[in-house]
């Protein structure tokens, strides 16, 4: 074999190697792109599955799948959405304590997130629902001082602070200052809310307890006529029985009846005081539920700051 033939064969061999390397590189890139596309497709499918479970009210399955999503795709832009969905699922599933815990965990882990104001809103509503009005007020005030809050969310938080101020029975001067500060002094819905709260017939626990010193009078004050009659008759019977026992020299029975009468008498006073508190709680619960819905104070898809949060803003609870 002469030198010319040898050079020609060597060139062909080198050219084949280049082609093979190119094909290997091209194949690797294709496989990589297919893998990335498959990964993205799996992520989208898993997210859609979680959303579907929540929409169908399979809350605890949604929680499990959302946790799986966070584990599988820790760098996904939808991780925050999944964390908030987990808290919302606990809330709508009836475990409000767990919901609060997860919302607070989100606030601690993502203090710079644009979704922070929305989470404060959700926490505030949960506290308000459980009559923890001072704690709720703190979270709504956080929304008002947060520059990330959307205009719609600010408006709702302002109205919530007025509603909570009423439920906390703040002084009229403070309430008027608050309404003026938020430009709500002439808002017909807010003015009507304040007027209606002022017309609620609350009962004084102190007055109920004082009147209950006369058996039945405390219950009568609370418009519980049957309880009033029962309290009067039973206390009267115990006293009459004790007096009759002493008159017949049955001291032991008389003392026993007086002991029972003392317990019944004290229970009558306690029942009247507790009844006044219960009456006031029920009035406030009814008022809060009616106006929180009537003033559209639930979160909606238009209140979010983050484009990844549209799913979680669609619920009211």
Interval 243-273: pLDDT, tens: 888 888 888 887 888 888 888 888 889 999 9
Residue 53 falls within a domain, yes or no?
Answer: no
Q: Which domain holds residue 269?
A: 205-292
Residue 156 falls within a domain, yes or no?
Answer: no
Query: pLDDT tens digits, residue range 159-194?
Result: 999 999 999 999 989 999 999 999 999 999 899 999
Averaged pLDDT for residues 283-307:
70
Residue 135 falls within a domain, yes or no?
Answer: no
Which tokens go with 18? 């280049």
Report field, pTM of the whole predicted structure over 0.85: no
Is residue 128 within 8 A of residue 305, CB to CB? The reply is no
Residue 261 falls within a domain, yes or no?
Answer: yes
Residue 21 falls within a domain, yes or no?
Answer: no
Residue 104 falls within a domain, yes or no?
Answer: no
Residue 34 falls within a domain, yes or no?
Answer: no
| Cα(84)–Cα(97) distance, integer angstroms | 14
- Would you put residue 84 in left (φ > 0), alpha (ψ -120 to 50) or beta? alpha
Residue 242 falls within a domain, yes or no?
Answer: yes
Total of domains in the chain: 1
Question: Mean pLDDT lowest for which of 45-54, 175-184, 224-233, 238-247?
Answer: 238-247
Question: Mean pLDDT lowest for which of 47-51, 94-98, 287-291, 310-314?
Answer: 310-314
CB atoms near residue 117 (< 10 Å): 25
Axis-axis angle for helices 251-294, 151-167 (nearest 10): 160
């Amino acid at each position: 074999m002469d030198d010319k033939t040898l050079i020609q064969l060597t060139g062909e061999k080198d050219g084949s190697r280049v082609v093979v390397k190119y094909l290997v590189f091209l194949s690797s890139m294709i496989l990589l792109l297919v893998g990335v596309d498959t990964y993205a497709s799996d992520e989208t499918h898993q997210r859609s599955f979680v959303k579907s479970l929540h929409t169908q009210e399979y809350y605890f399955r949604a929680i499990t799948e959302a946790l799986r999503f966070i584990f599988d795709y820790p760098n996904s832009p939808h991780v925050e959405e999944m964390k908030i969905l987990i808290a919302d699922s606990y809330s709508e599933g009836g475990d409000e304590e767990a919901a609060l815990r997860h919302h607070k965990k989100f606030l601690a882990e993502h203090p710079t997130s644009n979704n922070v104001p929305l989470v404060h809103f959700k926490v505030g509503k949960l506290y308000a629902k459980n009559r923890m009005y001072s704690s709720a007020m703190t979270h709504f005030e956080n929304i008002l001082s947060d520059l990330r809050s959307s205009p719609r969310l600010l408006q709702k938080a302002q109205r919530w602070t007025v509603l909570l101020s009423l439920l906390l029975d703040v002084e009229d001067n403070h309430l008027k200052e608050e309404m003026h500060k938020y430009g709500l002094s002439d808002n017909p819905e807010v003015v009507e809310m304040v007027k209606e709260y002022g017309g609620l017939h609350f009962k004084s626990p102190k007055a109920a307890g004082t009147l209950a010193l006369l058996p039945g009078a405390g219950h009568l004050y609370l418009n519980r006529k049957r309880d009033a009659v029962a309290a009067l008759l039973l206390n009267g019977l115990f006293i009459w029985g004790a007096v009759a026992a002493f008159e017949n020299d049955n001291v032991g029975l008389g003392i026993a009846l007086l002991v029972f009468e003392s317990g019944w008498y004290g229970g009558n006073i306690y029942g009247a005081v507790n009844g006044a508190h219960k009456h006031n709680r029920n009035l406030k619960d009814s008022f809060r539920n009616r106006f929180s819905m009537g003033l559209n104070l639930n979160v909606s898809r238009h209140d979010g700051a983050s484009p990844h949060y549209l799913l979680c803003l669609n619920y009211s609870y």
